[in-house]
Amino acid sequence: MDEKQHVYIIGSKGIPAKYGGFETFVEKLTAYQVEDNIQYHVACMTENSAKSGITEKHFEHNGAKCFNIDVPDIGPAKAIYYDIASLKYAIQLAESNQDKQPIFYILACRIGPFIGSLKKKIKQLDGKLFVNPDGHEWMRAKWSYPVRRYWKYSERLMVKHADLLICDSKNIEKYIKEDYQQYTPQTTYIAYGTDLEKSKMTKMSSEVTQWYKEKNVQSDNYYLVVGRFVPENNYEIMIREFMKSDTKKDFVLITNVEKNKFYDKLKRDTNFDQDPRIKFVGTVYDQELLKYIRENAYAYIHGHEVGGTNPSLLEAMASTKINLLLDVPFNQEVGRNEAYYWKKDSLAKLINSLEDNSKHVPIKSRSIISEYYSLELISTEYEALFLEFNTK
């Protein structure tokens, strides 16, 4: 038995990370680890690990001890099954390793109805249950009404049983404290982080020249969006408003629309395919190329409305010269005074005025990232928190 603080992370698809908010968070948290007295354990989906050529049940990555969980393809319940199976296995590992006061950190609130009995087992190990409540999952438009009710109910039970809720947005922390005050939840705020390094690629890199040629896009002559292709990220409004604007620049959308009913409906409703400026270019998994594309966009448009601190917004603030953000508290919290904000009926007007008054462009967004959202800072804050509980 060692004296390290063992932290079991449940709820990401796993590392090595290919994409995704939680996946990138866990990847960076483990990669930027400084404190030797912490041992991270990360639950991974077997199918996700297979994409990186990993087939063993147990493996190491970034110094973290990872374990694969097989998940049957059971539709929407898949994520719930995965979290429960991961947590059960993590509890078994902690027990067999005789870990002292292990921490089980669950990302998102999917398994509230099942957490009570699992919390009892955690307590028997003298362990702690930490939860990241994520964003307002129960508000997402993609869910049917019964599923939204499940999410809200599940969130309530996760809040009730958590020893600590780690919120990546101050607005989410405020919501948790107000909506669930009957449980007097213990909360703390630690943001997501992102790196500030410039892309290692240049305009002469073969990946760069090939991508720009293939997509028929010119450097510094496009507005950009990167994110999940879901209604609550306001793709329809961004596209409609962009089509109304006078700009000659392109609107480049890096997102996965393959076999997507939302995409077909959007095409029918907006006729965006009649506007040559609107370019859906698929996904970009090469992180260096994606960073270069961000750095060389004229501006970034962010329409996310649901959730906490969004990783794609942090990455844009770190890389892109101008950021146009939907005017909601989550985005204001990150962008502060170094971004432009738009209402749902004013994006076209903002785009036009931006190009008319290009001298008034804020370019200090990187300073916000370096001061509040650097990966070194976020990893250090997490490590201090985990070690603090080791002494209690």
Domain boundaries, the chain: 5-193+374-390, 206-372
What's the pLDDT band for 72 if we cut at 50, 70, 90? very high
What is the pLDDT at residue 76? Answer: 76
The candidate with the shortest Cα–Cα distance to 370, out of 191, 226, 225, is 191
Please, are residues 278 and 253 in contact by the beta-carbon 8 Å criterion? yes
The rounded percent of the chain whose pLDDT value lies above 90 is 74
Single-letter code of the amino acid located at 170: K
User: At 307, is the secondary structure helix, strand, or coil?
Assistant: coil
Please, are residues 346 and 238 in contact by the beta-carbon 8 Å criterion? no
**Rounded mean pLDDT, 210-222:** 97
User: At 69, is the secondary structure helix, strand, or coil?
Assistant: strand
Residue with the bigger pLDDT between 137 and 268: it is 268
What's the pLDDT band for 165 if we cut at 50, 70, 90? very high
40-49, 150-159, 285-294, 360-369: least confident range? 360-369
Please, are residues 344 and 164 in contact by the beta-carbon 8 Å criterion? no
Is the pLDDT reported for residue 361 higher than 80?
no
What's the pLDDT band for 309 if we cut at 50, 70, 90? confident
Q: Which of 118-122, 357-361, 371-375 has the highest mean pLDDT?
A: 118-122
Is the pLDDT reported for residue 346 higher than 60?
yes
Question: CB 108: neighbour CB atoms within 10 A?
Answer: 22
Is the pLDDT reported for residue 344 higher than 90?
yes
The candidate with the shortest Cα–Cα distance to 229, out of 16, 19, 11, is 19
**Rounded mean pLDDT, 312-317:** 92
**Rounded mean pLDDT, 306-315:** 81
Residue with the bigger pLDDT between 228 and 302: it is 302
What is the pLDDT at residue 8? Answer: 98
Cα-Cα-Cα-Cα torsion 213, 215, 219, 222, nearest 10 degrees, comes to 160
Residue with the bigger pLDDT between 253 and 312: it is 253
279-293, pLDDT tens digit by residue? 999 999 898 999 999
Question: What distances in angstroms separate CA 4 from CA 61, 302, 386, one per listed residue?
Answer: 18, 41, 11
Is the pLDDT reported for residue 146 higher than 80?
no
Residue 32 DSSP class: T
Is the pLDDT reported for residue 340 higher than 90?
yes
Q: Which residue has the tokens 């950190």?
A: 105
User: At 73, is the secondary structure helix, strand, or coil?
Assistant: coil
Is the pLDDT reported for residue 380 higher than 50?
yes
As a whole number of Å, the end-to-end CA separation of the chain is: 19
Q: How far apart are CA 381 and CA 37, in angstroms?
A: 14
Query: If one looks up domain 5-193+374-390 in CATH, what number appears?
Result: 3.40.50.2000
What angle (nearest 5°) sits at the alpha carbon of residue 242, between those of residues 239 and 247? 150
**Rounded mean pLDDT, 174-193:** 94
* Contacts of range 212-216, beta carbons closer than 8 Å, 24 or more positions apart: 215/252, 215/279, 215/281, 216/279
CATH 3.40.50.2000 fits 206-372, yes or no: yes
**Rounded mean pLDDT, 35-44:** 96
Single-letter code of the amino acid located at 160: K
What's the pLDDT band for 1 if we cut at 50, 70, 90? very low
Question: What distances in angstroms separate CA 240 from CA 105, 209, 228, 301, 345, one per listed residue?
Answer: 41, 30, 18, 13, 10
Is the pLDDT reported for residue 391 higher than 60?
no
Contacting residues for 221 by C-beta, under 8 A, at least 6 apart: 249, 250, 298
82-113, pLDDT tens digit by residue? 999 999 999 999 999 999 999 999 999 999 99
Mean pLDDT of the chain: 91
Q: Provide the token pair at 152.
A: 């809200």
The reply to whether 206-372 shares the fold of 5-193+374-390 is yes
Residue with the bigger pLDDT between 21 and 330: it is 330
10-24, 41-55, 204-218, 337-351: least confident range? 10-24
